[in-house]
Amino acid sequence: MSSILAKIEAHLQAHRVQPWEGTFRDYLSLVLQQSTLAHHAHTRLYEMIKQAEVTVDEEGKEHYAFFKNDLFGIDEPLAKVAEYFKAASRGSDVGRRILLLYGHPSSSKSQLVILLKRGLEEYTQTDAGAVYAISDCPQHEDPLNLIPHALRREFQEDTGIHVEGDLCPKCALSLREAYQGDVYRVPVKRIFFSEKERCGIGTFVPSDPKSQDIAELVGSIDLSTIGDYGSESDPRAYRFDGELNVANRGLMEFIEMLKADERFLYVLLTLAQEKNIKTGRFPLIYADECVIAHTNETEFNEFLADKKSEALHDRMIMVRIPYNLRVSQEERIYEKLL
């Protein structure tokens, strides 16, 4: 009993992170001391995977300890997934593609994404994975997006940090009206990714295309506030609570992607290709997130054969997740279950 209590106490100590709040000026000082705070979504995921240790075997193949206790017998697909994050973290065009996992039912596609989501939740509670956002921003906006475009090249030359995002409509309005354009006064706080609290992790499940609304992905107008603000295009009258909005800075899981209606898929295409979310009343809204989708192999083959979907084909990195066929790894699966 005492050992269990000790383990619980050790866990609490490891995850007892002090909340932080300050201004953008305070945050800039932190960034200059710890440049990892400026990591983009794909880089954050790759660093999370890498910190659990990477080993290289005699054949030169990399094995990632992050997966070793939960996924067995699929080392090659896991290496491809890690390679996707590695390439994206280095700024290649791979980061502008959707990662699509496909395979037969029960081949660990969902489990792989669950591991990444849970890993992100844990990682953002550590010093290495700390994430800060503009306070009260519905999209957990990167505070560095406050830096004026005219100064970003000079900022990169001085610090080595590349800033590419734009403020969401609500933050842009707040900067103009509440802070009179003074970026130093904008409040910033530390955030912790959580799927349950809809912060940094989004999940979308397709249903009946006739009844499912695109608002589940991109948010919707708040009809109760239109009378207060007088216009549907006022950011304060819009709910930026779609799954793509809440997944900003982190990870978006698209379950059974190929069962979704085409209009949902092309929202993802815009997000992957341009890092933007399109909503009806606003210009393109910048979003920095990793989109991971998964589907069954039968639907995937039908999708590949569809010539109308070539634009989507070109914007995907496809990784097949096979069944484990090694007896030794199958034994490990049963040992874990027991």
Backbone φ, ψ for residue 204 (5° rounding): -125, 130
Residue 1 reports pLDDT greater than 60: no
Q: Residue 273 burial by CB count (10 A; 0-12/13-18/19+): exposed, middle or buried?
A: middle
Q: 55: helix, coil or strand?
A: strand
Residue 237 reports pLDDT greater than 70: yes
As a whole number of angstroms, the distance between CA 310 and CA 294 comes to: 18
DSSP conformation class of 322: P
Q: Residue 269 — very low, low, confident or very high, per pLDDT cuts 50/70/90?
A: confident
Identify whether the C-beta of residue 44 lies closer than 8 Å to the C-beta of residue 129: yes
Output the pLDDT for position 325: 73
Domains of the chain and CATH, by start: 92-126+200-338 (3.40.50.300)
Q: What is the mean pLDDT of the chain?
A: 88
Output the pLDDT for position 202: 95
Could you give the C-alpha distances from 203 to 135, 186, 331, in angstroms and in order?
A: 23, 30, 32
Read off the pTM. Answer: 0.89
pLDDT in tens, 285-298: 999 999 999 999 98
As a whole number of angstroms, the distance between CA 338 and CA 324 comes to: 18
